[in-house]
Structure 1
């Protein structure tokens, strides 16, 4: 497949996730909720995760933004389902490497995410693509901090 065909395929995947987002909405009883925005362009994201026994059972997103940020959120919520928070963070790290043009390793279960690789050539759009992933990282850190606090309280 030549570069133009590959570029066209990636564009169609991105637009499909934008026009037909997967996991759009909110979970009523999510165990992890995160909000984040990109003040540069106004994109905003609301993530909700249902985590059972350390595994992401369900993931939803809501928000407003460009096709890159919304399709990335759609892809991310698909990719992390069925994985632990640690695995989801590892996915996020690999995604960040891809966005920065570094060597990266995506697993097969990360779905359509590689379609966003071309965004790395447009520095102003990288924040759009990484918004949902950064929100995932923020939520995980906050959850781990809360777990540490709970453990300390229980130890007293």
Structure 2
């Protein structure tokens, strides 16, 4: 499933004008993601991501996009917290993450947690700063 999402990512591309855009860079491995979210009020109407990264980073972003479309920002924030707990080995309601639940194994490889959470951290920036249309950040080591 991870290789499928990595090779054929869902919602890969760009949305363009009228969307919130965040670019994050993980300097430890070189992964870069640009996440674009189109909001209708506080509902995520559409989402797309681009950039380059390892298979875990790309698959995780693909899985995230599937699960957040149609959710409110509050619901998406809750899903982000669940995912963060999942990849850190905590007991969570992983079923809410759909395909993303498969990434629970990342907890056994701490160096890969940043890869798996890169797309989710970009989403967190949009949720935290919905008034900013474009945001750029490097994740610290």
Whether the TM-score (by the shorter chain) exceeds 0.5 is yes
Once superposed, what is the RMSD of the aligned Cα atoms?
A: 1.3
Larger Rg: 1
Q: C-alpha separation between the residues in 2 aligned to 1:42 and 1:31?
A: 25
The match for 1:59 among 47, 64, 89 is 47
Q: Which residue of 2 aligns with 1:24?
A: 12
CA distance in 1, matches of 2:110, 2:36: 28
What is the TM-score normalised by the length of structure 1?
0.81
Instruction: Specify every segment of 5 or more residues in structure 2 that has no aligned partner in the other structure, as ranges.
Output: 133-141
Instruction: Kindly indicate which of the two structures has a greater share of residues assigned to strand.
Output: 2
Higher helix share: 1
Contact in 1 for aligned 2:3/2:55 (Cα 8 Å)? yes
Deviation per residue, 1:75-128 (Å, 9 max, x gap): 0011100000110010000000011111111344x3200111111100000100
TM-score normalised by L of structure 2: 0.89
**Larger RCO (CA under 8 A, 6+ residues apart):** 2
Post-superposition Cα deviations, 1:47-94, rounded to whole Å, max 9, x if no partner, equal 001111211111100010100000000000111000001100100000
**SS of the residue 1:50 aligns to:** strand
Over 4 Å off, 4+ runs: none
Confirm or deny that 1:46 pairs with 2:34: yes
Aligned residue pairs total 132
Q: Tell me which residue corresponds to 2:110.
A: 123
Measure, in 1, the Cα distance between the counterparts of 2:113 and 2:22.
20
